[in-house]
Structure 1
Amino acid sequence: MAALLSVFGFIIMLGLLIFIHEFGHFLFAKMFGVRVDVFSLGFYGRIFSFRWGETRYQIGWLPLGGYVKMFGDAEVSEIPPHLRHCAFACKPLWQRALIVFAGPFANIVVLPLMALGIIYLLQGQAVSTTIGSVIPGYPAAKAGLQAGDRIDAVNGTKTRYFRDLLHLIGDIPGKHVQLRITRGKRQFDVKIIPRTIEEDDAFGSKKKRGIIGITADFRTPTVGISDPNSPAYRAGLRTWDRIIAVNGTPIRRWEELVRFRQSHPKGPHKYTVQRTLRIHNPALRFRHPMKPHTIVVHPATRLTSKGKAVYWDGIHSSELFVKSVRAGTPLAKAGIQVGDRLLKLGGKTLQIASDLGSLPNKKDAKYTIVYERKGEITRRSFTLFEVTFVDPLKQRHKRTLLGIQLGMPYERGVKIPITSPVSFAFRRAAQDTWFFSGLLVRVIKKLFTQEISSDNIGGPIMIFQIAQEAVKSGWEIFLRHLALISINLGIVNLLPIPLLDGGHLLFFLIEGVIRRPVPPKIKESAFLLGLIFLLFLFLLAIKNDLQRLFSG
């Protein structure tokens, strides 16, 4: 049954990719009065066909593409005068260019908008502007914003969804922003200056963006205990325990636990704890919640570096505790182990997990890491290097990475019903389409500059594998993969290679500059070179597909 679903998913995915591309050519040809003789999905012969009007619609035996055969795509001199009104070659240059461009456009824009739009249209809910967590030291924290606050407007512009909120703030880095805040039953305004950061946009260009240090996802009160001599450890608390109530009052957020401990520093603190039993075994791996139990922690006093006595219980958020270490990676070789609490990286004090991303990701760069293990602080040096990993499709990638996974005790932010679902879905789909397009342009560029190995080029077998994985993961993943592959197909088709749509557009551009069609002999030679190149590319893709299929 699973195999049949995989085959069905592959047929649907490939069929949609080909159909939308050829339909783009077909639609614009009809719009401009060009006669279409054949609309074909697949090549070589006909499995099925029918005629409707002047066009024969058919399905070919080889489902690796399709074509739209238009009347009069030869030289104008070869077309009878009485039929030139419906001949492709006799149409104005701009119309011919649009007919050719319409295929890639349908792949890059139309199909992704439809696929992604369906995802967002059926979601029904989106993450609200309720703050899940406030990052210490960032503008939001300095302005007094708290977890649970809801941001209703930015500079007078009403905002309902968190993603839109980030876009509004991101577009005005370093400038005063007035936020309308709802806290409980109270509303008030806060003026804030977003911190300016520089990051790559979708197409790899550097762009300044504003951030204020908030997340929609909220930190759960999942604890990390790094000192075995701490009151919390002696009372029985362990790393990854989740506190679900304090003194009988249920809590969901880490900030609630922090406020309780600050308001009752002396204790004792009565915690209801949910512990998850983790079994890691090659044959059996699962997590099982144990029955909640009560632990009472009696904070102790200790002296700070300035000689001041403070109450201390040894409880930290598990966010910066190492949950897993990948063998052979830089931090694994530096001696980092599961359960270590990370304190500093590259000289910078770590406050949240995303601080790890601020480390320049450069090969052979040398850094230091400071961590706590069993109450002892250790400092180690390490060097970043490329690590090879294999994705689910057996593609090999090289990337500089640290090689650890942290606790990340986050849960999804508060969701609310979507108003105006059609406009919401279109806006989100357009944003994702733009992002995916930029990402794939960068990937193709890196393939040509050999920053990414040509071993990653895939063909029909790879598309089958993607469809297979997508079918297993559900309809939403299937539609996202469909959108990505469609954009990729459209961008590749726009490359200025003869036989591809981009090659035809290049000839049209030359024709527009020199004011006459490119000589047929030059076209024929270029098409032959293009055919050789595409044949080589196809064989390379098949070779890579077979290697991935039979490796390991």
Structure 2
Amino acid sequence: MSDFLISIVAVVAVLGFMILVHEFGHYAVAKWLGVRVEVFSIGFGKRLFGFRKGDTDYRVSAIPLGGYVKMSGENPMDERTGDPAEFLSHSRWHRFLIAIAGPLMNIFLAVFLLTTVYMVHYEYPVYLDTPAVIEGVKHDSAAAQAGLQAGDRIVRVDGIENPTWEQLQPRVWLSPNQPLTISIQRGDQVFEKTIVPKAVTTSEVGSAGWFPKQPVIVGRLEAEMPAAKAGIKENDRIVAMDGSPMGSIETMIERLQQTKEKPVELTVIRGGQTLSFRMQPVLSKTEDPKEQRYRLGFLNKGETAVTKLPFTRALSLSLQENKKYSLLILELAKKIAQRKVSLRAVSGPIGIAQDAGYAAQQKGWTPLMELMAGISLNLGIFNLLPIPILDGGVILFLLIEGLMRHDISLRIKERVYQAAFVFLVLFAVMVIYNDLMKTIPGLAGRLP
């Protein structure tokens, strides 16, 4: 099956399941509280088949992207009959529970999926847990301009003391073209520096231009590129280039820009054997459409550790990770609203399809489960934003009405919903447009 078809199947399955779980949350709580559910649909559009049980039509519809729940009288513009089974006939507390149930189901699912992954096959890059000691600095980068050097240790950033690389990276990514103050330890001295991460790649995330020590281990190879042609294989460990040790993939990338098209010799460890391969770099596109560089054509996957955690530790770690990423999502939304981060940092259905297709082609099912956990968390947090039409908007109206002790007029609600609908349509158009702009030039990941 082609990469395109795998991506299409994967994104339909992943998004469909995420939205279905979300809608089931609304459905289950509505039924529990006595609200009449008229339709529970898997998919959108024309009804294909199904059955009726009680007041509910359970159906499968033509467009297999999620689903929806239709409750009696849930639309403020619908005519109200006073039937106690209608959504708006119930107390604000009941309506609040129904509204929040969908996002909570997505958040619970994210916690469940990550807990399962950590119990079965917890794989993570080793360097992420190590102190943020700089292995090298890219020429003409923000770090180089600030005078940072190999061997410097970052001991403070954005209020975080002695950060690991995992803690440091999001601070940089979320600060494109924005000053970021850090404390550096060099020998026995500690001093402050201010760097301005450059906006890089099509997502325009921040990059300081420093990099950690991380072994070069070959991941996915590009066909018809020098590495594949020379006989390099996945999981080969590249320890030297032209006799010089390779401490990180960035070191190799920097060296290739210096040697340009001059043939290079790689020293590789494969299954306990030391092998040599000679190849000629080629000038090729990268993950940034504005940049070309000399490359060999493989993805570096670095060194990873694999373990299994007992249930209590897996659950604890899953809760920690979901909390951390929830805060990062909210910070990203805040910085986008402040125009400090580009909207290009947000992926839409095309970007999700690419990620889902790549995860589906990895060995085992845990990469896809991790991606599903991330998407489910994003969906849950996004729906809690106080935007009318979204669940967070319904909750906001309920809170305002509770403080006012009376309902907001239907005329005001209608105008607000119309404006919110236009906003969400424009937002979706912008996200899809950015997806297309990022996809057309071609994304190559971290490609040496």
TM-score normalised by L of structure 2: 0.64
1:47: how far off? 3.9
Pairing 1:20-419 to 2, within 5 Å after superposition: 20-73=21-74, 78-80=79-81, 84-108=83-107, 110-123=108-121, 322=135, 325-330=137-142, 342=151, 363=179, 384-390=195-201, 394-399=202-207, 401-406=208-213, 418=309
Q: Which amino acid aligns with 1:107?
A: N
Cα distance change, pair 354–539 in 1 and its aligned pair in 2 (3 A): closer
1:431-446 matched pairs, under 5 angstroms: 431-446=320-335
Say which SS state the counterpart of residue 84 (structure 2) adopts. Answer: helix
Residue identity in the other structure for 2:100: F
CA contact (8 A) 1:320 1:353 kept: no
CA distances 1:293-343 after superposition (whole Å, capped 9, x unpaired): xxxxxxxxxxxxxxxxxxxxxxxxxx9794x6534324556999xxx9637
TM-score by length of 1: 0.52
Q: Go from structure 1 to structure 2 and tell me whether the alpha carbon gap of 1:122 and 1:344 turns closer, same or farther (over 3 Å shift).
A: closer
Tell me the equivalent position of 1:452.
341
Q: 1:77 to 1:125 in 2, by over 3 A?
A: closer
Measured against aligned partners, the alpha-carbon deviations of 1:465-506 in whole angstroms (never above 9, x if no partner) come to 221222234422222221122111112211221111111112
Structure 2 distance, partners of 1:72, 1:438, is 35
2:412 to 511, 522, 525: 522
Post-superposition shift, 1:356? 13
Q: Say how many residue pairs are matched.
A: 338
Contact 2:203 2:346 in 1 (8 A): no
Q: 1:354 to 1:105 in 2, by over 3 A?
A: closer
* Mean CA deviation greater in 361-370 or 469-478: 361-370
What SS does the aligned partner of 2:41 have? strand
Over aligned residues, Cα RMSD in angstroms? 4.3
Change beyond 3 A, Cα 1:469–1:124 = closer
Distance in 2, matches of 1:44 and 1:476, equals 32
Change (3 A) 1:330 1:63: same
Deviations 1:87-141 (A, max 9, x none): 2111111011100111111122x11022112102324999xxxxx9xxxxxxxxx
| Structure 1 Cα separation of the partners of residues 130 and 144 of structure 2 | 29
Could you say if the C-alpha distance between residues 57 and 333 of structure 1 is closer, same or farther in structure 2, counting changes exceeding 3 Å? same
Indicate the residue corresponding to 2:311 in structure 1: 422
**What displacement does 1:43 show?**
2.6
SS in 2 for 1:388: strand
Q: Deviation string for 1:29-68 (max 9, x for gaps)?
A: 0110111111123332224433333322233344555321
* Among candidates 378, 388, 398, match of residue 508 of structure 1: 398
* Larger relative contact order (Cα-Cα within 8 Å, sequence gap ≥ 6): 2
Gaps of 5+ in 2: 156-161, 173-177, 188-192, 216-246, 248-301, 443-448
Could you tell me whether the CA contact under 8 Å between 1:331 and 1:402 is conserved in 2? Answer: yes
User: Structure 1 residues 406, 539: CA separation in 2 closer, same or farther (over 3 Å shift)?
Assistant: same
**Alpha-carbon separation, structure 2, partners of 1:327 and 1:480:** 35
Change (3 A) 1:422 1:48: farther
Find the partner of 2:371 among 481, 485, 488.
Answer: 481
Larger-Rg structure: 1
Residue type at the aligned position of 2:93: W
> What is the DSSP-based 3-state SS (H/G/I as helix, E as strand, rest coil) of the residue aligned with 1:73?
coil
CA 48–450 in structure 1, closer or farther in 2 if over 3 Å, else same: farther
* Matching residue of 1:209: none
**Counterpart code for 2:18:** L
Q: Per the alignment, do residues 551 and 25 of structure 1 end up closer, same or farther by CA in structure 2, a change over 3 Å counting? A: same
Could you say what secondary structure the match of 2:412 adopts?
helix
Matched position secondary structure for 1:507: helix
Q: CA offset at residue 422 of structure 1?
A: 3.4
Instruction: Give % identity.
Output: 33
Letter in 1 for 2:46: G
Q: What is the rounded CA distance, in whole Å, between the counterparts of 2:22 and 2:71 in structure 1?
A: 15
In the alignment, structure 1 segments of 5+ residues that lack a partner are 127-131, 133-214, 220-318, 347-351, 372-381
- Residue 431 of structure 1 and its aligned partner are, at CA, apart by 2.1
**CA distance, structure 2, for counterparts of residue 355 and residue 64 of structure 1:** 37
Shift of 1:355: 10
TM-aligned CA distance change 1:508 to 1:48, over 3 Å: same
| Residue identity matched to 1:363 | P
Contact map agreement 2:71 2:87 (CA 8 A) in 1: yes
